[in-house]
Amino acid sequence: MELKELKILLQLPESDTSNDAYLEMKLGEAIDWVVRVCGQSFLVNDNLMLPRVAKGVVAQYIAFELQGNHGIKSESIAGMSQTFDSINERESALISKLSQARLRKVRFTPHKRGYDYGPY
């Protein structure tokens, strides 16, 4: 995902370069977060190939960061509205989107077989 695509998703004018350094930094941070949450790299032939849903999540993550207020807020991106009460709420909502799109790899932990009933 490139800065140009992020600006389109955030509905920012491409000609406004005043925040480009900040957006580039946040873009890397948001992509790292999505990759970590999904448990996969999205690399195809050494190129990052994020699915559309993941790109939308990256944009929403950054939109929240741009807000500067990490309390209650509302946002609208490309006709879609979201309200987050906190960073935890934001992350839960974004993780839910990634899960619904089946982008998260499920990690199973083996259960201990047998039971320890202790002394009688």
DSSP letter at 106 equals P
pLDDT the model gives residue 43: 92
Q: Which positions of the chain have pLDDT values less than 70? A: 68-78, 80, 82-85, 106-120
Which residues on adjacent β-strands are paired with residue 96?
A: none
Nearest of 75, 61, 62, 56 to residue 23 by alpha carbon: 62
| pTM of structure | 0.71
Rounded Cα distance, 11 and 120, in Å: 68
